[in-house]
Every structure is written in C-alpha cells, then in structure tokens.
C-alpha cells in the first residue's frame, strides 16, 4: 500500500502552500528523509521530505496551490522505478574482462545515538519578540560539532551568531529569510558520535558525471526565491549559470545576474516607418531590492512612534566658541594622556546628564499606566552603519569622565560599523543623542527612540552673526533640537531642560566643576 504524503502544518496562520518545484520526478525512486520538493507559503519557502523509501507518485503538480493536510504525493514502498536497458553482449564481455576496481576504504561515519536536540530561538532582549534567519553557514545534513557557528540571526537591533547546541547531523527547519518568534523551532540536530565522513568520496563520485557533460534535473532550474528575483529583473533562467547542487540556480546567483544584451541581428529590409519620437537623454533604468529585516523593523517602529506618542520638538542655539577654544587649548595634552581625542560628544553627554538629574521627567518612560523614573543616565548614541541606524548605549554616563565617555563612544561606534554590537549593548537606554551635523544637517526634528521620552539632536556648526553685549559679532553657532513625548514631559520642562544644556555648553567650566 502506498504511503500518502500530506502538506504539513507550517505555521498557525498559514492555510495553504504552493508547490514551488519538484526535485524528484514521477516514478523515480526516493530514499527516506530525502528532499523531494520545495513548497512556498506567503511567509517562507521550505522543503518537503520523503517519509519512507520507495517509488514517488506525484499527485499535485508544480505551481498548484494545496491546502494544509491535503495529499501532495504518494510513495509506494513495493514499487519499482524504471529500470535501465540490459547491456549488449559485447559490452558485458568487455566489462567482464576488466579487472574489478579495488573498493576504497569506507570512511569512519559518525555513529548515531538516537537522540535529537531541538534548537529554538533564544531570548535575545526584553523588547525583541521575533528574529529573522539571515544566513545558514551550514547545510542541511552537514555534520556539526558543539559550539560550531551554524547560522546568523537578525533582530531589529543586531545580528548575532547561532552556535550548535550538540554534535551530530543538522536538520534545518527554518529557511533563510524566514521570521520566527522567540522560542520558535530553528533546526534539529540528530545527536551522533565520531568525526564527520570526508566529502572527498562524494566529489570523486560526482567527477565522472561532470566530465561526461551530463546534467541533473536541477541544472538551470531556479529555486523559488531565485525565480522571483529573476522575474522581477526580467532575466530568463536559462541565461543564469547555477552554482547550486546539480547546477541549480540559487538566490545568490539570481541577485548577481545581469540582463544580457540582445545579440545583433542582420539588417532586414523593412518599409519606411513614421518618424520615431526622440529618445529622452539619460538612462532610465530601475532596480528593486527587498527590504532587510532591520529596515522593515525600523520602519514599523518609526510609524508606531508617530502614531502612539504625542511628540513635539523645541529648539535653541548654542555658541560653540567656548568649547572649541577649550578643545584647541588642551586637545594635544588630552590625547597624549588618555590616548583618545577630545570630541564634542563628551561635552554634550556630560551636559545632558546634569540636565537629566534636574529634570527627571525627560529621563523617564511610560510602562502601560505607570511612569518609570530613572536615577541613572544610560545615554543612547545614534550610529550610522552600512546596515542602517543602530543606537548603542553608554551605561551610567553620569559617572564617567570625559576620557571614559570618548573611549566608549569610539568603541561602540566601531563595533556598530563592524556589525558586532550585542543585544545588551543596544537595550535599556533612557535618553538619546543623535548628531545629524556630521552629514551637514542644519536643523531637524529627531524622532523618539521608544520607550524613551526624549532625544537631543545636534547639527552642523556654522559661523553666524549674533549680538553679544550690544555688538554684532561672528560666532560658531549650532542649533539644538529636543524632541519629547508630551504625555509625560511638559513644555516648561522641555524648554528648561534645553536651556540648561545650552548654559552648560556655553560655559564648559561649569561641567568640569559640577556647578
């Protein structure tokens, strides 16, 4: 009796899947646990495995949409796959006259213990509810050792590595690009003992087929994800060389593919056509890129801030001449003693910490129907990276000296640009500082970093004519912007906070003396 293979349940909100590709043909022999098809849902692409050995009978064809639980194929354990024709007498005699090849010694294979380790998404931060599988560094079926890095996982705040929790054979459950909740199943490891069998035997067996020029059924066929990318680019799959198993076109192949210019054809005599509309000068090409998980999460958070807070912005200006003169006078001695440069960020951080102590509501946050007041200053600093904006935190900034703040800023900014920030380094801030002036911004209204209630925006320094002691003088001026949540910060507190920061920056001696 044939075994019926049904569409498995792949998520509580998924009711149907589409058959993206059959990797085995109708009537072909398959082995238990062998991948026979790729199925697509509205959220991810995943593989369908044979539940037993036998002969495959396909029920649903490629491209069909099938409800969860419906029969997709059958496997006949007693069936026979199509047999090859018997060899001719001359070929049989020639084969018999050849000496038998000496079998290579079997490599030591890992010994299965029967145990299975399920690996689930770990808790990576108090405000993080889901992660995305960015990249699998190991393939399905690979032998992995405990603590081997098998995948990279992305949250809305950082990318972190996933180490294997046991030694054995890796069975991937969640595919690359799939989003999982905390606690969701990522993969299984079939626990085994011993070293992995070397891959030389497989490559040696594959060599004759490659040399003879034979191609597998997968050659030139794109994976579902690759197919979508090629369709968007308008590139036929036949133009792309596949680097996957058996010549399969992978997602990476599709992303790298470029449309080929059409081959030149001999001129043909055609009747004279009407004058063509003059071509528009300049290229009019377009390209589409899928939003990264980080970018999508940032977009959601920014929209939620706009919709869920009563955000206002107040402005002021600061005469930066006193700080610039102080830096110019002591920057060489400062760097010689501490090994770091004396930047503006340490002055702003110290000024903010003093003002936050005087106006605690600006350092507070809302938790449902309660307001949480913090007696410490964890200052978040916005850092631009190739992957997007990240906001690492300087812990207990109120207790740090100028050189300690500068060292911490350099450390966090470097780790952010290298993509090495941990979740702990980016959670728990109570107030944020962002510096758009490094990109030339003159004025902006920075958006809040929830659940914080305020953020200070720095801008570029421009020489402007101002009135000092009844005289018009030229001074280096910076505009400051304080965005705040009006639900817990009143206008008086926000304006007074910004004025206090201005006073401290224009008289930096007060910062040093703590007055």
- Catalogue the active-site residues: 486, 490
**239 and 257 in contact (C-beta within 8 Å)?**
yes
Could you give the C-alpha distances from 244 to 44, 124, 216, 249, 277, in angstroms and in order? 19, 33, 11, 6, 45
Peptide bond before residue 451 is cis, with ω within 30 degrees of 0: yes
If we measure between CA atoms, which residue out of 315, 454, 437, 430 comes closest to residue 377?
430
Provide φ and ψ at 287, rounded to 5°.
Answer: -145, 150
Could you give the C-alpha distances from 397 to 62, 109, 126, 353, in angstroms and in order? 59, 55, 22, 7
Both structure tokens of 211: 């040399």
Provide φ and ψ at 372, rounded to 5°.
Answer: -100, 120
**223 and 250 in contact (C-beta within 8 Å)?**
yes
If we measure between CA atoms, which residue out of 167, 135, 170, 174 comes closest to residue 153?
135
CA–CA separation, 155 and 206 (whole Å)? 39
Q: Which long-range contacts (CB under 8 A, 24 or more apart) does 363-368 make?
A: 363/430, 363/431, 363/453, 363/454, 364/430, 364/453, 364/488, 364/489, 365/430, 365/451, 365/452, 365/453, 365/488, 366/451, 366/453, 366/485, 366/487, 366/488, 367/451
CA–CA separation, 102 and 104 (whole Å)? 6
Could you give the C-alpha distances from 280 to 33, 259, 273, 277, in angstroms and in order? 57, 21, 20, 9
Query: Which runs of consecutive H residues, i.e. helices, occur in 77-223?
Result: 89-97, 200-211
CA–CA separation, 367 and 503 (whole Å)? 32
Tell the residue number behind the tokens 């003879």, with chain if given. 212
**138 and 151 in contact (C-beta within 8 Å)?**
yes
């Amino acid at each position: 009796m044939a075994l019926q293979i049904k569409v498995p349940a792949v998520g509580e909100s998924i009711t149907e899947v589409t058959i993206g590709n059959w990797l085995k043909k109708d009537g072909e022999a398959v082995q238990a646990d062998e991948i026979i098809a790729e199925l697509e849902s509205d959220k991810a692409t995943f593989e369908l495995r044979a539940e037993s050995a036998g002969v495959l009978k396909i029920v649903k064809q490629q491209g069909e949409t099938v409800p969860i639980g419906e029969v997709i194929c059958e496997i006949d354990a007693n069936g026979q796959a199509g047999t090859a024709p018997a060899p001719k007498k001359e070929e049989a005699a020639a084969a018999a006259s050849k000496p038998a090849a000496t079998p290579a010694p079997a490599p030591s294979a890992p010994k299965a213990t029967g145990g299975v380790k399920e690996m689930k998404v770990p808790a990576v931060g108090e405000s993080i509810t889901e992660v995305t599988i960015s990249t699998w560094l190991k393939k399905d079926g690979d032998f992995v050792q405990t603590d081997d890095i098998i995948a990279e996982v992305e949250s809305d705040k950082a990318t972190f590595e996933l180490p294997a929790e046991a030694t054995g054979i890796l069975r991937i459950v969640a595919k690359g690009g799939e989003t999982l909740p905390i606690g969701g199943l990522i993969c299984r490891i079939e626990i085994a003992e011993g070293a992995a069998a070397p891959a030389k035997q497989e490559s040696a067996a594959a060599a004759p087929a490659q040399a003879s020029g034979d191609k597998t059924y997968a050659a030139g066929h794109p994976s579902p994800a690759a197919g979508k990318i090629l369709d968007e680019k308008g590139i036929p799959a036949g133009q792309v060389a596949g680097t996957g198993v058996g010549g399969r076109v992978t997602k990476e192949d599709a992303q790298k593919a470029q449309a080929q210019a059409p081959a030149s054809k001999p001129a043909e005599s055609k009747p004279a056509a009407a004058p063509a509309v003059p071509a528009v000068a300049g290229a009019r090409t377009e390209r589409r890129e899928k939003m990264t998980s980080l970018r999508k999460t940032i977009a959601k958070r920014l929209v939620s801030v706009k919709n869920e807070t009563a955000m206002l912005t107040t402005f002021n200006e600061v005469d930066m001449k006193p700080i610039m003169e102080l830096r110019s006078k002591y920057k060489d001695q400062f760097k010689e003693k501490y090994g770091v440069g004396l930047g503006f960020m340490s002055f702003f951080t110290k000024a903010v910490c003093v003002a936050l102590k005087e106006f605690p509501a600006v350092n507070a946050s809302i938790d449902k129907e309660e307001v949480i007041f913090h007696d410490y200053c964890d200052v978040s600093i916005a850092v631009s990276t190739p992957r997007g904006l990240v906001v690492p935190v300087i812990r207990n900034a109120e207790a740090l000296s100028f050189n300690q703040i500068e060292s911490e800023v350099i450390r966090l900014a470097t780790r952010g640009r290298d993509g090495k920030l941990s979740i702990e380094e980016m959670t728990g801030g109570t107030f944020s500082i962002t510096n758009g002036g490094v990109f030339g911004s003159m004025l902006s209204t920075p958006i809040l970093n929830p659940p914080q209630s305020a953020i200070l925006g720095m801008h570029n320094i421009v020489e402007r004519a101002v009135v000092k002691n009844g005289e018009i003088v030229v001074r280096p001026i910076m505009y400051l912007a304080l965005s705040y949540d009006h639900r817990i910060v009143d206008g008086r507190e926000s304006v007074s906070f910004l004025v206090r920061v201005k006073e401290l920056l224009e008289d930096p001696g007060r910062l040093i003396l703590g007055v």
